[in-house]
Structures are given as structure tokens and as C-alpha cells.
């Protein structure tokens, strides 16, 4: 089927597929001509097709306004990555595993420091080696926390707060974490014993794949007012860490797929793709899955809190930088499902918002934001690649109106992991990055090849599209100095 025939241009940075077939709402894509063309050229099959997946999401019961995709969109499991969809329980809205993903509450924390680029000159290798030594990373890696089932239940209930109580980080970190690092609807009793067993030694570990800890320098400021609010200056050293709920989150997704498949049949929900199995939000099955996801999200919050503590330890050990000189700028997730109040056609509605590889990007004035940032809007943390820039953006009022306060989360893959492994030998990538002044440490060669800069879209272009569309605005660009991979 030629999907291009259905795509119409709304404006230079927004395209729409009007409802057809069983679509209940339009499918909208924040792209320009170039990125739409690239997206269509890179679809490997009818099944593995981001446009088709977005159309499928638009068929789900209770979906509000549109199924939307950000400029970093690419195919995922059921939902496209870079997608957002909001559902109203009053209209039979549903909750879906595919709308959250298997790495529940995967997200990014940014730490700002009192250091400048000059402070690291000549010390990059020592810092890289120390981070490699201090921060557990890699497939199946284990951390210094060895928790009992009772303690895991506390992690799932309390999130980052539990880690702080154990001495990992500080109380002031919590103010700058989305939801203060704890979702109150979490219920450890609906998380399987298998999931808990897999997590007992993984809290405070980075994992593998696209997860990383990266030391960066602020090399450009675009918005002086927002940068001042965020505590950012030109030449400043910041640290981004990107990881999620590790094995526990994956196991929750695995456990609940067959559970929601039965619910789909029980409630007579017709889905265009079996990967979109779901349950009505207010059904017993929908509520149970929601409580399990909240528990998985709290696990991710705790994981990033412990990792932030380990980053501070590495900086102290390598450079004698005190822990008070490294502060949490913000932490925000990009694989979530949460209740939020949004205005739709002039009416305030309580909606269940699924963000799959897309980031909450609230505009100014939202009460959920820290008081320090409320007047300018929420920091939006966008990861690039080991060899390209990352960005700190800010949410806008237009984004609140159009996308439920949602924006991109990264560059977005352009090539599959299998393609990247064939095309980008790890040793060559490490050497090329070294020539650019970027030091890489990795626990496995596969993650270097799979996450090579060439495997991703052009992050500069992706950010430009979203900013020109008015959904977010640039605050600062960050360039990598040291990168730790799993």
C-alpha cells in the first residue's frame, strides 16, 4: 500500500494522514519534507513501518485528537518510537503495553556541575577510566545493592525516595525529578516474583544497548533566560545519564502481554495488530497493568538515583570534585503512561497519556514543574549520539495545545542494530571518536557498533524540525567529552 497517497501537508513541519478505514482520529507527524521522505524510504516492510504503526494506534478505542509522532519517529513494538497517544476513559479509552514499551520509564537525568571545560583538560582519560570502574554497566551487570524481596517491594513503592533514604544522593535531587521520583499508584503485589528476582542485584546499573553516561560541555546557549533558570553557562560541564527499569521493566512487559491479550478478547476490542493488545483503562485488567507499570517506573527512578550517586563518586575519586558541586538539573522519562489534565477543544480533560520514546515537554506555568523552572517551562533532555551533540530544550505553550506537552527524546534510529553491527566496526568507531576528542569506554563492542553515530538520524535536523514547529525551543547544545557505554 502506498501510504504517501494518504499523507497531506498541514504546514512546513506538520503532516497528517486523515482518518480512513478503521482510524478513529488522524495520524499526525512532526516532520519536514526531507524527514518524511527519509522515513518512507527507510521502512523495511509493511509490518515494520512507522506510518502503518501510527495509523494502527489511531484505530484504538477512546483515543483523543490524534495519534502523533515526533521528528525522531521510527518503528517500534506496536506503537512507533517517538509516538504519543492520549486516551479518555469516558470514551472507552484503553491502556496498552506497546504504548509504554518494555523498558518502562526509560529516561534521562542531567546533572550540572561547577566545572568548566578547562577543569577537565588533560584529565579526560583518568575520568573515563574511573567512571568505567565505579559505574556498573553492560548486559546483566549487577550493582553494589543486593536487595531482598521485601526491599525490592520498597523500591517499587518508593522509587528514588528509597534510594535517597539509603544514602544514595540528596533530598534536593527529588525536587528536580519528574513526579519527584515516585508514582503513588505503584503496587508491588501485581509484579511477578520473576520480575523482582531479576532486579535484586540490578538497581544502580546502567545496562547495555543505547544506555550511557556521558560527560558533556555546554558549547552554545540559545535562550539566555531559560539557561539562567536551568543554571547553565557556556563552557560548563554537565553529565547526562540514560537508562531505565532494567530487567524488571522488561519482565513486566513480557508478563502482561498475554494478560492483556486475554483482556482484548474478553472486552471485544478489535485491534489492527496483535502487538496492540490492550484493556479498557477502568477495567480490572487495565488497572492492574497500570499499577504494575507504576511500580516499574519507580524502579527506574531508583536506578537513576543510585547511578547519579555513583557519578558523583567517580568525579570525587578521579578529580576530587565534591558531591555538592554536582546538582540534578532535571530528570524526565520517555517510556511512560500517566494521568494528566489537558485542554482539548476548550475543555479540561483527565487523560491517560502514553509516551513511547517521546518526552514530556510541559510549557510554562504547569504546577508539576519545579518552582525554579515554572516561569520558563520544563527542561526537555534530548540525547544525541556518542559523536554528535545533545540538547536541552524547553517546553512551550504551543506544545501543550498540540501534542499534550510532548516532544522528541533523541535523534531516532536510521538503521537497525543488525545493520549497524555490520557497517560500523567498534574499533574504528572508537578511534574516529578519539580523533574528535571524545573518549569512549564500553563493556562490550556490540554496543559501540549498534550505537554508532551513523546509525542515527541527524540530531541537529531532528531538533530543528521540532523547534521550527513550535513544540519546543532550544536552550543549550551539549558536546560529548567522555562516554561510558554498556
Cα(137)–Cα(139) distance, rounded to whole angstroms? Answer: 7
Query: Which one from 11, 409, 443, 461 is the annotated catalytic residue?
Result: 409
Cα(276)–Cα(31) distance, rounded to whole angstroms? Answer: 24
List the one residue out of 243, 233, 240 whose CA is nearest residue 388. Answer: 240
Q: What is the CATH code of the structural domain delimited by 107-257+275-485?
A: 3.90.1860.10
The answer to whether the CB of 449 falls within 8 A of the CB of 429 is yes
The pTM (predicted TM-score) of the whole model is: 0.95
Q: Which residues of the chain have pLDDT under 50?
A: none
Domain assignments of the chain as residue spans, ordered by start:
107-257+275-485
Determine the 3-state secondary structure of 300 from DSSP: helix
The answer to whether the CB of 448 falls within 8 A of the CB of 486 is no
H/E stretch holding 306: helix 284-319
CA angle 13, 15, 18 (to 5 degrees): 160
pLDDT the model gives residue 201 = 78
The answer to whether the CB of 373 falls within 8 A of the CB of 380 is no
Cα(96)–Cα(104) distance, rounded to whole angstroms? Answer: 12
Cα(374)–Cα(28) distance, rounded to whole angstroms? Answer: 28
List the one residue out of 451, 54, 470, 89 whose CA is nearest residue 276. Answer: 54
The answer to whether the CB of 98 falls within 8 A of the CB of 264 is no
DSSP state of 179: G
Sign of CA dihedral 411, 416, 417, 420: negative
Question: Which strands, in side-by-side order, build the sheet including 8-11?
Answer: 8-11, 14-17, 27-29, 67-74, 81-87, 347-356, 335-344
- Residue 328 has φ and ψ, to the nearest 5°, of -75, 115
409 is catalytic: yes
End-to-end CA distance of the chain: 39
- In this structure, the number of other CB atoms found within 10 A of the CB of residue 400 comes to 21
Binding site, annotated residues for GMP: 210-214, 334-335, 383-386, 390, 409-412, 485
Q: Which residues touch 328 (CB under 8 Å, ≥6 apart)?
A: 109, 110, 111, 169, 172, 173, 176, 177, 308
Cell numbers found for residue 43: 521502512
Cα(455)–Cα(384) distance, rounded to whole angstroms? Answer: 11
Amino acid at each position: 500500500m502506498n501510504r504517501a497517497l494518504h499523507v497531506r501537508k498541514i504546514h512546513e513541519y506538520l503532516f497528517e494522514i486523515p482518518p480512513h478505514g478503521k482510524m478513529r482520529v488522524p495520524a499526525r507527524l512532526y516532520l519536514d519534507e526531507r524527514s518524511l521522505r527519509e522515513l518512507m524510504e527507510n521502512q523495511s516492510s509493511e509490518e515494520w513501518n512507522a506510518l502503518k504503526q501510527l495509523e494502527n494506534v489511531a484505530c484504538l478505542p477512546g483515543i483523543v485528537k490524534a495519534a502523533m509522532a515526533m521528528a525522531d519517529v521510527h518503528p517500534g513494538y506496536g506503537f512507533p518510537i517517538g509516538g504519543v497517544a492520549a486516551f479518555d476513559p469516558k470514551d472507552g479509552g484503553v491502556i496498552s503495553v506497546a504504548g509504554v514499551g518494555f523498558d518502562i520509564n526509560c529516561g534521562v537525568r542531567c546533572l550540572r556541575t561547577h566545572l568548566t571545560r578547562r577543569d577537565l583538560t588533560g584529565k579526560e582519560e583518568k575520568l573515563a577510566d574511573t567512571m568505567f570502574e565505579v559505574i556498573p554497566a553492560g548486559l546483566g551487570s549487577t550493582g553494589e545493592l543486593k536487595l531482598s524481596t521485601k526491599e525490592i517491594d520498597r523500591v517499587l513503592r518508593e522509587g528514588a525516595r528509597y534510594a535517597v533514604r539509603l544514602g544514595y544522593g540528596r533530598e534536593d535531587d527529588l525536587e528536580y525529578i519528574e513526579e519527584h521520583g515516585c508514582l503513588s499508584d505503584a503496587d508491588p503485589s501485581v509484579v511477578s516474583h520473576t520480575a523482582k528476582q531479576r532486579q535484586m542485584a540490578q538497581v544502580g546499573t546502567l545496562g547495555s544497548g543505547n544506555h550511557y553516561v556521558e560527560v558533556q560541555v555546554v558549547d552554545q546557549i540559545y535562550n539566555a533566560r531559560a539557561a539562567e533558570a536551568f543554571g547553565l553557562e557556556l563552557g560548563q560541564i554537565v553529565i547526562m545519564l540514560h537508562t531505565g527499569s532494567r530487567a524488571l521493566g522488561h519482565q513486566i512487559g513480557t508478563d502482561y502481554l498475554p494478560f492483556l491479550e486475554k483482556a482484548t478478547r474478553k472486552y471485544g476490542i478489535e485491534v489492527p495488530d496483535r502487538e496492540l493488545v490492550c484493556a479498557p483503562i477502568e477495567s480490572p485488567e487495565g488497572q492492574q497493568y497500570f499499577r504494575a507499570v507504576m511500580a516499574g517506573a519507580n524502579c527506574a527512578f531508583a536506578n537513576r538515583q543510585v547511578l547519579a550517586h555513583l557519578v558523583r563518586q567517580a568525579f570525587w575519586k578521579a578529580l576530587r570534585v565534591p558531591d555538592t558541586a554536582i546538582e540534578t538539573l532535571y530528570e524526565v522519562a520517555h517510556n511512560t503512561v500517566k494521568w494528566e489534565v489537558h485542554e482539548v477543544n476548550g475543555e479540561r480533560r483527565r487523560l491517560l497519556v502514553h509516551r513511547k520514546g517521546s518526552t514530556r515537554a510541559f510549557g510554562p506555568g504547569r504546577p508539576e514543574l519545579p518552582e525554579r523552572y515554572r516561569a520558563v517551562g520544563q527542561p526537555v533532555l534530548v540525547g544525541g549520539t556518542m559523536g554528535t551533540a545533545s540538547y536541552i530544550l524547553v517546553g512551550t505553550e504551543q506544545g501543550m495545545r498540540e501534542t499534550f506537552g510532548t516532544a522528541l527524546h533523541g535523534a531516532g534510529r536510521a538503521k537497525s542494530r543488525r545493520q549497524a553491527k555490520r557497517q560500523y566496526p567498534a574499533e574504528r568507531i572508537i578511534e574516529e571518536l578519539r580523533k574528535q576528542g571524545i573518549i569512549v569506554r564500553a563493556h562490550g563492542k556490540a554496543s559501540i557498533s549498534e550505537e554508532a553515530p551513523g546509525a542515527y538520524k541527524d540530531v541537529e535536523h531532528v531538533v530543528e524540525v521540532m523547534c521550527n514547529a513550535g513544540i519546543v525551543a532550544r536552550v543549550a547544545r551539549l558536546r560529548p567529552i567522555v562516554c561510558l557505554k554498556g
